[in-house]
Structure 1
Amino acid sequence: MYTLFTGLYKQWTQKEEFYVIILGLDNAGKTTLLEKIKSTFSGIAGLPPEKIAPTVGLNVGKVDVQSTRLNFWDLGGQKELHSIWEKYYSECHAILFVVDATDSERIEEVKVTFESVMTNDTVEGVPVLMLANKQDVSGALSVHEIKEIFNPIALQLGARDSKVLPVSALKGDGVRDAVDWLYLRLQRNKVNRPPVFQR
């Protein structure tokens, strides 16, 4: 009888966990985005923007959406760190790719980087959300312009769930919409990439 109750208790208290990697070039706003996600979903203020330093290695953030825990891994965007990204592909359930929409000079580098991520066999079937960040800055590329640049790569994704959304990681505009989109795709993709269960 005790075993039955402990088994039921464990099942009721288990939480689905998903892992989302945040990728993009350095200075795209990945860490600012992570801080805004944490503060939006926890209600606790994150680090102020002036205290956010470039990521060397990995930043981790956890938020609960309904009865599910989303673990975000913010990976450093410097070119020399890109080789480390692959180590996280097999464990991730989704990819958040952040683009600095104000940096048109590096858009070709972004395109090449994004293509190398998307053509890696390990991420096949993983939902991908591209965020056109810094939409609060005048002169930023619009979502439509970013879609035009990245559509040829998106065609390679085939039936995979993918989308481009506008955000301002600094102001928080679009952050909740982005996480809501991810949450739904993670739930739909459980057969392909099942969640991890933690108590």
Structure 2
Amino acid sequence: MSNKIKFIIGDLLFLSSVLLISLFLLNPVSANDLSKVKFISEVYPPYNYEDAGANKGIAIDLLIAAMKQQSVPMSAGDIKIQPWARGYRAVLDGPNLCLFSTTRTAERENQFKWVGPISKTRVVVLSKKSRGIKIGSAADLNNYTIGAIRDDVGEQLLKELGISASLIKLGTDANAIVKKLQADRVQLWAYEENVAR
């Protein structure tokens, strides 16, 4: 993929935020309370993903280590991997759910209790190198259709930049968006830089 897609980072598109684990709980929790929490994640390598039926990744390893430190038994198999939008909606609607890894933004700030950070992240737009697309300002994005994952930070940041909703083509996961990009059904893709690579 890297030889076919290049990164386009304009001044207004270089959006730095912090990748965090989010807990949708109102108060600090005890180890007993933690055993009641259901953990949800998505395919988002290298932080969280499935490999040969096993849940793996940096964030999963950190979560298991943190739970062990709190004397709460947990294994990678206790984590449910599902599409981002489904997990995001579930954690917004229900108690005792943890959704990770989640990019911390102003829009999300008061929706969750935050634990972390794990690392810094950059949300960028990408295109096929062969298209030769140059972005000079956020307004330039309104000349293209842009793939994004439903309820992902990429979609949210595009909307914050004033990109027309009709130009944002949503998918359930990164693979779906990459296929749209490769088939020229979208010209750009808004996503986290390291995970996209």
More strand by share: 2
TM interval, short-chain normalised:
under 0.3
After TM superposition, the score normalised by the length of structure 2 is 0.25
After TM superposition, the score normalised by the length of structure 1 is 0.25
